[in-house]
Amino acid sequence: MHKTGRRPPATFDPALTIMQTIDFQTEPSRYRHWRIECDGDVAYLIMDVDQAGGLTEGYELKLNSYDLGVDIELNDAVQRLRFEHPEVRAVVIKSGKDNVFCAGANIRMLGKSTHGHKVNFCKFTNETRLAIEDASENSKQTYVCAINGNAAGGGYELALATDHIMLVDDRRSAVALPETPLLAVLPGTGGLTRVTDKRKVRRDRADVFCSIEEGIRGAKAVEWRLVDEVVPNSKWKETVAARAKEIAARSDRPTNAKGIALTPLDRKIAGDRVSYSHVDVEVDRARGLVTITVRGPAQAVPASVEAAHALGAKFWPLTVARELEDAILHLRANEAAIGVVLLRTDGNAQAVLEHDDFLAKADGDWLMREIRHYLKRVLKRVDVTPRSFIALIEPGSCFAGTLAELAFAADRSLMLVGTREGDNRKPAAITLGQANFGCYPMGNGLTRLATRFLGEPDTISNAKSKIGEPIEGEAAAELGLVTAAYEDFDWDDELRVMLEERTSFSPDAMTGMEANLRFAGPETMETKIFGRLTAWQNWIFQRPNAIGEQGALKLYGSGVSPTFAKERV
């Protein structure tokens, strides 16, 4: 029997609390925790967590609390609503249980988890919340949260990701961020940042709010801007429905559009290899490396937008987005000891650019728009993945347009100058496309090229003038598009030395270094969540006051009060 979010254990290590291979693929018929109910242009996304459905043993998902498995389903639902339900213009998140909306992340699960799992779980959850905001903003599939019961911690953080928060006024239901007083950790999946930067709650009120276990309800919750409206219990259902209809009416989504099915991925897992139709993942465990190869389109661009719709999940840009995303998530969750990712591409650069152009020209089409935003989100997942990415640009590769973003997302890129002995393919090239100049902003709001060339804006215009031209090794290095270019003669040695060095460094120092160097320039609410908030939370997740034997996270629910070292750091 296949269990949502689980595959049979790949490895068994008794030292690890989380020992199963985590699968990020699921679909509605397998959901255990969520339901989608569509009512014309409004969808209800109903959280009804199966308390026996935890991803691992040892905890019960009571009171709509969640673990990674619950969030994998939510992520899937958010994604499917965009692709499979173009008719949906407003999505209402609500609870399927009486008197409780959501109690947040499951504490027993957090208490039992490794540091790495906690951090990875929070990262994925943060990405899902941002995907909700991306749907509201960029697909005009606007999220509303209907809080019918207590929304505590991660429960309220989920609400914060929506555009309109409604709270039932039943003299009981409240919103709360009780992490700090109860658990000695932060509301770390966006909570602190969204309270101050999105809801713009006054800082001293935020301080009070984050210190109250029982939270805030009723008119005060509105006055403090924690929710947008409170609704009497007697009028709850119709008011929620009416509000959703009003919000749906403001959407620019097409009428009579037909969704496409996100069919199961074409994925094979065998030993240290995961193969998809256009992506391969090969783990070299001894060297601590993985190679991800992304293949360009095998077919010409469709003859028309209609033909692209007919291809659906088989349309190359969508296929590659889904496969690359799954590969990245798989590595994060299941291959923690692999510190370096080599990024390769294989195929025809021109075909990649033609697909980019096709998407650009059809941007008025809802599906093409979705695909571009999805590619943007997948590339952002790379930006926040704590592994060293090194792009290898070699003959036969197709680092062009959208796929060139992989080279710009990488921490370093190496390019082969000229050809390889015995290889009659053309020299490696990077080919820029329009897509590199605006389609795929990073979390900081800038394109990867703008972030890269923050200190030399002329280089950007220079690069822009080269759109469509294959730029070979030395020219690419000259233009600043790659870190280094080597002849065939030096390639193997240079690469070997670099990889030996990189994999010998402290994994933590690499994570910290990359998290800083990748985000030059402005910060946004999004980068603040992954930078300021996450880094402080990770620090706290290492402190004995939270995770020690006497720490709050360990003792929660035991009846014993935590003992804190009083030193302020």
Question: How far apart are the C-alpha atoms of 555 and 85, rounded to whole Å?
Answer: 44
The verdict on 566 binding a second copy (CB under 8 A) reads: yes
H-state helical runs in 139-263: 154-160, 191-193, 203-209, 218-223, 236-249
474 to 493, contacts with a second copy by CB under 8 A? 480, 482-483
Minimum separation from the CB atom of position 496 to a second copy (A): 15
Tell me the closest approach of the beta carbon of residue 357 to a second copy, in angstroms: 28
Q: In the complex with a second copy, which residue's Cβ is closer, 146 or 510? A: 510
What's the CA gap between 178 and 187, in Å, rounded?
8
Residues composing the chain: 569
**According to the binding rule CB under 8 A, does residue 445 interact with a second copy?**
no
Tell me if residue 389 falls in helix, strand or coil. Answer: strand
Is there binding between residue 420 and a second copy (CB under 8 A)? Answer: no
CB of 179 to a second copy, least distance (A): 8
**Closer to a second copy by Cβ: residue 21 or 51:** 21
Q: Which of 461, 472, 473, 412 is nearest to 436 (CA)?
A: 461
**CB neighbours of residue 135 within 10 Å:** 24
Residue 537 makes contact with a second copy by CB under 8 A: yes
Q: Which of residues 324-353 bind a second copy (CB under 8 A)?
A: 336-339
- Rounded least distance, CB 382 to a second copy, Å: 13
The residue range among 34-42, 136-144, 358-366, 507-515 that interacts with a second copy, by the rule CB under 8 A, is: 507-515
Q: Does 507 bind a second copy (CB under 8 A)?
A: yes
214 Cβ contact partners less than 8 Å away, ≥ 6 residues apart: 174, 176, 178
Q: Between 141 and 534, whose beta carbon lies closer to a second copy?
A: 534
- How far is it, in rounded angstroms, from Cα 88 to Cα 90? 6
Is residue 181 near a second copy by the rule CB under 8 A?
yes
- 179 vs 356, beta carbon nearer a second copy: 179
Question: In this structure, what are the phi and psi dihedrals at residue 66, rounded to the nearest 5 degrees?
Answer: -130, 160
Q: Which of 455, 549, 558, 559 binds a second copy (CB under 8 A)?
A: 455
- Specify the residue, 489 or 505, whose C-beta has the smaller distance to a second copy: 505
Is 135 within 8 Å of 561 (Cβ atoms)? no
Cβ pair 19, 343 in contact under 8 A: no
Q: Footprint of a second copy on residues 216-235 (CB under 8 A)?
A: 225
What minimum distance in Å lies between the beta carbon of 20 and a second copy?
16
**Cα separation of the two ends of the chain:** 49
C-alpha separations of 525 from 78, 373, 472 in Å: 21, 18, 38
**Residue 549 is a binding residue for a second copy (CB under 8 A):** no
CB nearer to a second copy: give 467 or 520.
520
Judged by CB under 8 A, the stretch of 25-33, 81-89, 147-155, 447-455 that binds a second copy is 447-455
437 binding a second copy? (CB under 8 A): no
